[in-house]
């Protein structure tokens, strides 16, 4: 992890279509960063994530989805298959990025940063499964981490607090 990184705006990643996007494009927004998968027991959370996005996007909130195939091979598809699944099954309209690793030596630098900033249960850092969630304030600082089983709807009070800060 490079020294001096202060916030998520220092990172970039390609969207599903391969176009790289600097997270600085989301500067000033409250973000919910989630590692996703299409064939997981938590996959129906896409519906709740989309509902949060639609409810709060005009107030300055964005969900960022990062597909990951590190947990039980539950995201085996290509970028176009992932995009088609998200759109046709859950009408996802928030940004979904290309597939990344969230753990191990090939973990995307964004996830290295998130895990360092919010190490989670017992401070171990490791992402336990698909649909782990990081809440990021308008300054790009990770302020909370939520377990995969935590429903998106239950995060609304935390999101509202940051939107109204």
Q: Catalytic amino acids?
A: 40
Asked if 67 and 97 count as a contact pair (C-beta separation under 8 A), the reply is: yes
Is residue 21 helix, strand or coil? Answer: strand
Q: Which DSSP symbol is given to 92?
A: -
Alpha carbon 28 to chain centroid distance? 16
CA distance 141 to 62: 14
CA distance 119 to 37: 21
Strand pairing report for 61-67 and 30-36: parallel
């Amino acid at each position: 992890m490079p020294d001096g990184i202060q916030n998520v705006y220092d990172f970039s990643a390609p969207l599903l279509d391969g176009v790289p996007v600097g997270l600085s494009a989301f500067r000033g927004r409250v973000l919910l960063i989630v590692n996703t998968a299409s064939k997981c027991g938590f996959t129906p959370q896409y519906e709740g994530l989309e509902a949060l996005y639609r409810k709060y996007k005009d107030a300055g909130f964005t969900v960022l989805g990062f597909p990951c195939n590190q947990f039980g091979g539950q995201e085996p598809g290509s970028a176009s298959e992932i995009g088609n699944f998200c759109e046709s099954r859950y009408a996802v309209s928030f940004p979904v990025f290309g597939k990344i690793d969230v753990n191990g030596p090939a973990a995307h630098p964004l996830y290295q940063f998130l895990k360092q900033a919010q190490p989670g249960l017992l401070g171990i850092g490791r992402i336990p499964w698909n649909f782990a969630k990081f809440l990021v304030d308008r300054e790009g600082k990770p302020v909370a981490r939520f377990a995969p089983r935590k429903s998106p709807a239950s995060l609304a009070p935390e999101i509202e607090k940051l939107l109204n800060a």
